[in-house]
Amino acid sequence: MTDTIIVLDFGSQYSQLIARRVRETHVYAVLLPWDTPQEQVLAYQPKGFILSGGPLSVYDPEAPYIQDFIIQSNLPLLGICYGLQALTKALGGKVAPAYNREFGSAELLGIKPSLLLNGNDGPSVWMSHGDRIEEVPPGFEVLARTANSPIAAMGDEARAYYGLQFHPEVRHTPSGAKILGRFVLDICKCNGDWYPESIIDQTVNRIQNQVGNAKVLSAVSGGVDSSVATALVQKAVGNQLTAVYVDTGLMRKNENRWVDQAFRKNLGSNLIMMDASQTFFSNLSGVTDPELKRSIIGETFIRIFESKARELGNPPFLVQGTIYPDVIESRAAERKQAQRIKTHHNVGGLPERMNFDLVEPLRYLFKDEVRIIGEYLGLPSELVWRQPFPGPGLAVRCLGALTPERVSKLQKADAIFTEVLSNAGLLIQRTGDDAPMEGTAQSFAVLLPVKAVGVMGDQRTYEEVIALRAITTDDFMTADWARLPYDLLAEVSNRIVNEVQGVNRVVFDVTSKPPATIEWE
């Protein structure tokens, strides 16, 4: 059986990121709610546990806690932020509100070398906490501190119990990956022999067990996620799958042609193209609230699929390309301590009643893992490395009222931006099997519900504004704005203003995530 690390989720925004960092060490990681029953947790035969952060204080009445069997397992433990505090409280230490809360970068000062912190790590770490450890539990020693946290790391080497007040899972802690690697490989003694193709085998088996001999519908959009999800399900069930592309009227320019070319060869007659743009625009008429847009799109989408399903003999399963950033931002109900950022149309935006069971083979994967799987499945590079596109389409990039005319403006502006970036070699790409990804991870145009005064041909104009968004990231949980060349931005702006009727101003978004999200709505 593959060596496994269990990440217990106490509600942190970064919980799945911990699991992802563990997988980077080629060790399988599973994320489970903190209160998962003992038999389900131990069924994985874990080699160790990582306790995530969380938004509450350990002394809050509703605060999650470490279940007794976790301690009684005598397996290595690593508590991160709230996980450290929960471990301290469970083992008899003292947690109290910090005099000065720590949010952001801090300098870590080593006190005692250990298997976890060996003294060669860089000093910069990322803090995000209001409580701190005042007294370590019996058997623990202080391993490191910061200016505001006298106990920033602690350890009981005899029991292989460790705690970190900082977040090693985020890129803002440069040595974080090495620290997690030591816990997983050196302390938990995992073999490090798990690779992405293992995801394919496990997922195919899971799909086959879920679906059996039933027929399956798959929603394809031309995006990376739905394409890889469809390919995985096709590998699992073959001709039981029928893929359906629904043109919502909110797709990228020339998307219909792209989807037909990309999928027709592999799916043949099992690819159905539908034009439902009039239905979507009708249902969204006058709607400007982004959450309501997502909800309407989710329900309309499902109802259309239900109608198509009746024509096809009512297949009971529907494939969706939901990935983990969708889930974590929507904050599905099972994560009790977490907070919802926004509803994704294919997660929280789905209607409560629908005639399908969902098949979501990518639900707990990050974008980069999805792309690796796509490559292993033999999907064409131009599809695997295509720019991400949100499920609600241009509805969340066309701020304000949705009309065919406004969406058409946005499609043209977005196509110009993509073309210029492509010509400059600045769309995301991988330069080799072991090379890092280069270029913008995601880039797009946004149409704002704002008009600005301009001058064209010596005449006053009063027209709409396009915002350009381009980010760099490897996990889509955090992101920075891309430092695009000024000359490139000037070229994009000039072309949009001249080629897209009804736009007279272009601006560039220089906000990171957080505090902003990648999409504007």
Sequential DSSP letters for 3-57: -EEEEEESS-TTHHHHHHHHHHTT-EEEEEETT--HHHHHTT--SEEEE---SS-
Active site residue 369: no
Active site residue 499: no
| The one catalytic residue among 26, 129, 167, 344 | 167
Residue 42 tokens, joined: 């131990």
Distance CA 107, CA 145 (A): 8
CATH H-level, domain 4-187: superfamily? Class I glutamine amidotransferase (GATase) domain (3.40.50.880)
Do residues 499 and 462 touch, judged by C-beta distance below 8 A?
Answer: no
**Res 329: pLDDT:** 58
| The one catalytic residue among 102, 129, 169, 329 | 169
| The one catalytic residue among 26, 81, 188, 369 | 81
**Overall pTM surpassing 0.75 (yes/no):** no
From the list 325, 338, 400, the residue with the least C-alpha distance to 369 is: 325
**Res 338: pLDDT:** 46
Active site residue 81: yes
**Res 98: pLDDT:** 65
Distance CA 392, CA 13 (A): 22
**Res 404: pLDDT:** 97
Residue 122 tokens, joined: 């860089």
What is the separation of C-alpha 435 from the centre of its chain, rounded to a whole number of angstroms?
Answer: 22
From the list 235, 39, 60, 224, the residue with the least C-alpha distance to 130 is: 60
**Res 341: pLDDT:** 45
Q: How many residues belong to the chain?
A: 521
pLDDT in tens, the chain (521 residues): 689 999 999 988 788 889 989 999 999 998 999 999 999 999 999 999 999 999 888 888 889 999 999 999 999 999 999 999 999 999 999 988 766 665 678 888 888 899 999 877 778 888 876 677 889 999 999 999 987 788 989 999 999 999 999 999 988 888 999 999 999 999 999 999 888 777 898 899 999 999 999 999 988 877 888 889 998 999 999 989 999 889 999 999 988 888 887 777 766 768 899 999 999 999 999 999 999 999 999 889 888 888 888 898 889 998 988 887 676 655 444 444 444 444 544 433 445 666 778 899 998 787 878 888 988 888 877 778 888 888 899 999 999 999 999 999 999 999 999 999 999 999 876 544 444 456 898 999 999 999 999 998 888 999 999 999 999 987 677 789 999 999 999 999 999 999 999 999 999 999 999 889 999 99
Question: CATH 3.40.50.620 residue ranges in the chain?
Answer: 196-384
Phi, psi dihedral angles at 49 (to 5 degrees)? -125, 140
Distance CA 164, CA 52 (A): 10
Phi-psi region of 124 (alpha: psi -120 to 50; beta: other; left: phi over 0): beta
Distance CA 136, CA 64 (A): 20
CATH of range 397-508; options 1.10.10.10, 3.30.300.10, 3.40.190.10, 2.40.40.20 = 3.30.300.10
From the list 520, 223, 279, 258, the residue with the least C-alpha distance to 391 is: 223
Question: CATH 3.40.50.880 residue ranges in the chain?
Answer: 4-187
**Res 345: pLDDT:** 43
Domain 196-384 has CATH 3.40.50.620: yes
Count of CB atoms within 10 A of residue 450's CB? 12
**Res 473: pLDDT:** 85
**Res 355: pLDDT:** 73
Residue 383 tokens, joined: 């599809």
Distance CA 30, CA 64 (A): 19
